[in-house]
Amino acid sequence: MNKKEILKLAKGFRGRAKNCIRIARERVEKALQYSYRDRRNKKRDMRSLWIQRINAGTRQHGVNYGNFMHGLMKENIQLNRKVLSEISMREPYSFKALVDISRNAFPGNKNVVLPTRKADISINV
């Protein structure tokens, strides 16, 4: 890339990095490396954000994220975390219905499954 392209990419940088080609070249190279890495990190960060939001939403109903997802898996509800987080923000009543479904499918560790009851649960599933 020639100098003009580099300085164009260096817009908004701090100090001499936006003006002087020698410094700008280094910073632009680094910036491009970061953007390559972060295109992959962004997917991870987004998923983590969705999980945090779902966790907050389900804890308002007394269920934590792990038990909630386990219940959904048991019921074979294949909504992904992105959609679940949007539902938890915009459609609280639908989200509560999902939490209830999950709670019915998987009540949580407090109701410890006794050996004698395993047969019943397997029949339901």
Query: Which range, of 11-19, 22-30, 32-40, 86-94, touches another protein by CB under 8 A?
Result: 86-94
Q: Among 48, 49, 46, 68, which residue's Cα sits nearest to residue 58?
A: 68
State how far the Cα of 28 lies from the Cα of 34, in Å rounded to an integer. 10
Q: Is there binding between residue 86 and another protein (CB under 8 A)?
A: yes
65 binds another protein (CB under 8 A): no
Does 66 engage in binding with another protein (CB under 8 A)?
A: no
Question: Using CA atoms, how far apart are residues 17 and 28, in angstroms rounded to an integer?
Answer: 8
Instruction: Decide whether 17 or 54 has the Cβ nearer to another protein.
Output: 54
Residue from 61, 70, 74, 103 binding another protein (CB under 8 A): 61
Answer whether 59's CB lies under 8 Å from 67's CB: no
Residue 67 near another protein by CB under 8 A: no
Tell me if 79 contacts another protein by CB under 8 A: no
Evaluate whether 12 touches 19 at the Cβ level (below 8 Å): no
Question: ∠ at Cα 27 (25, 33), nearest 5°?
Answer: 105
Smallest distance, another protein to C-beta of residue 53, A: 5
Residues engaged in binding another protein (CB under 8 A): 46, 49-50, 52-54, 56-57, 59-62, 82-83, 85-86, 88-96
